[in-house]
């Protein structure tokens, strides 16, 4: 398997695929795709949120934990250009947790699903040492967009703005309360379903959601498409509140914003003819801003530059 970027986490996925052999499907995309007799494609994905790894209960309400877990999985459907049908949530609950906290968590997951026109279809409930929320999403797409279609000459575009979730995280870790916008970005990210469907219908060749940092996720898109990607960090849209947190760490705002992940924006390779007028049409149709930040070329890997100079960025790796 060559369609994943570098890192210990992805080395483990490659090892799993090798061990499964012919029993393995394609592991190098956001979702599993199953063609249906109707001509549509069934789109499936799963995402796991674990206390003290993905969130801390001191930071979020139970409802926000549920929303965030569901939104992370729904974001994978957005990256395929798929419309959600529903989700299933398997929840592990520590001893002593009040019943109202469990129902609040599921209400949050249900609210996230409803915000995308989907429903909670079922799940599982068990006791666990810590809060654990595994969300499986079900969607459908007429023409799903994988990570594998980018070609040399395409433009590289990103939705929304980056860095707010990381700004909230570093504020909490410092012992401060995050700014309201940053906190909202971390606690209640909005899956870009409408934008993903619009981009799929308007020529997107490849897409991925930005969950592990821009450079890391761009690396997966580049690996899956067997191309090289160039990113101009000066063009990356920066979320409010990022400048102050970046200054505290003494790093450029663009580097801070693109290294954090968990923004759940979409990174898309679009044909050379896709331009500012098309981006304005996307904004008008979906309410989501679209910004060109780079290009696709022949070769391999990701090259970032800031003000004309190479700038090294890595992505998040659970096992690094």
pLDDT score for 293: 98
**173-225: pLDDT as tens digits:** 999 999 999 999 999 999 999 999 999 999 999 999 999 999 999 999 999 99
- Tell me how far the alpha carbon of residue 34 is from its chain's centroid: 21
Residues forming a β-bridge with 242? none
**93-152: pLDDT as tens digits:** 999 999 999 999 999 999 999 999 999 999 999 999 999 999 999 999 999 999 999 999
pLDDT score for 318: 46
Residues 296-305 have a mean pLDDT of 96
pLDDT score for 261: 84
Q: Do domains 31-74+81-141 and 155-310 have the same CATH topology?
A: no
Percent of the chain clearing pLDDT 70 (strictly above)? 89
Least confident of 22-31, 221-230, 289-298: 22-31
First to last CA, the chain: 20
**72-86: pLDDT as tens digits:** 999 999 999 999 999
Percent of the chain clearing pLDDT 90 (strictly above)? 86
Please tell me the class of the 31-74+81-141 domain: alpha beta
pLDDT score for 319: 38
Residue 317 has pLDDT above 70, yes or no: no
Q: Where are the domains of the chain?
A: 31-74+81-141, 155-310
Residue 5 has pLDDT above 90, yes or no: no
Rounded distance, CA 166 to CA 172, Å?
10
Residues forming a β-bridge with 89? 123, 135
User: Which of the following CATH numbers is that of domain 155-310: 3.90.650.10, 3.40.1410.10, 3.40.30.120, 3.55.40.20?
Assistant: 3.90.650.10
Yes or no: say if 141 and 83 are a contact pair by the CB < 8 Å rule: yes
Rounded distance, CA 239 to CA 165, Å?
9
**For all residues of the chain together, what is the average pLDDT?**
92
Instruction: Name the 3-class secondary structure at 47.
Output: strand
Instruction: Name the 3-class secondary structure at 214.
Output: helix
Rounded distance, CA 164 to CA 132, Å?
24
What is the secondary structure of 145-210 as a DSSP string? --SS---TT-EEEEES-BSHHHHHHHHHHHT-PPPHHHHHHHHS----HHHHHHHHHTT--EEEEE
Q: Which residues contact 75 (CB under 8 A, 6 or more apart)?
A: 189, 191, 192, 209, 211, 264
């Amino acid at each position: 398997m060559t369609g994943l970027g570098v890192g210990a986490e992805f080395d483990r996925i490659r090892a799993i695929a090798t061990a499964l052999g012919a029993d393995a499907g394609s592991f190098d995309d956001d979702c599993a795709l199953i063609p249906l007799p109707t001509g549509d494609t069934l789109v499936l994905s799963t995402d796991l949120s674990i206390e003290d790894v993905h969130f801390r209960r001191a930071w979020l309400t139970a409802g926000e934990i549920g929303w965030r877990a569901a939104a992370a999985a729904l974001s994978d459907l957005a990256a395929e250009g798929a419309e959600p049908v529903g989700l299933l949530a398997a929840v592990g609950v520590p001893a002593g947790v009040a019943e109202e906290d469990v129902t609040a968590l599921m209400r949050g997951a249900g609210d996230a699903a409803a915000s995308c026109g989907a429903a909670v279809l079922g799940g599982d409930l068990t006791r666990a040492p810590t809060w654990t929320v595994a969300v499986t999403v079900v969607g459908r797409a007429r023409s799903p967009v994988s990570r594998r279609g980018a070609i040399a000459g395409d433009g590289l575009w990103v939705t929304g703005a980056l860095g707010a979730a990381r700004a909230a995280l570093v504020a909490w870790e410092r012992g401060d309360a995050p700014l309201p916008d940053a906190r909202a970005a971390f606690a209640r990210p909005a899956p870009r379903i409408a934008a993903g469907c619009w981009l799929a219908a308007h020529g997107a060749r490849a897409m991925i959601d930005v969950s592990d940092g821009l450079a890391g996720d761009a690396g997966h898109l580049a690996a899956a498409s067997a191309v090289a990607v160039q990113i101009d960090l000066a063009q990356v849209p920066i979320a409010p509140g990022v400048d102050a947190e970046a200054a505290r760490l003494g790093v450029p705002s663009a580097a801070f914003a693109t290294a954090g992940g968990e923004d759940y924006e979409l990174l898309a390779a679009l044909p050379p003819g896709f331009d500012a007028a098309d981006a304005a049409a996307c904004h008008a149709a979906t309410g989501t801003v679209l910004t060109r930040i780079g290009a696709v070329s022949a070769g391999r890997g990701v090259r970032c530059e800031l003000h004309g100079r190479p700038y090294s960025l890595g992505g998040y790796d659970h096992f690094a």
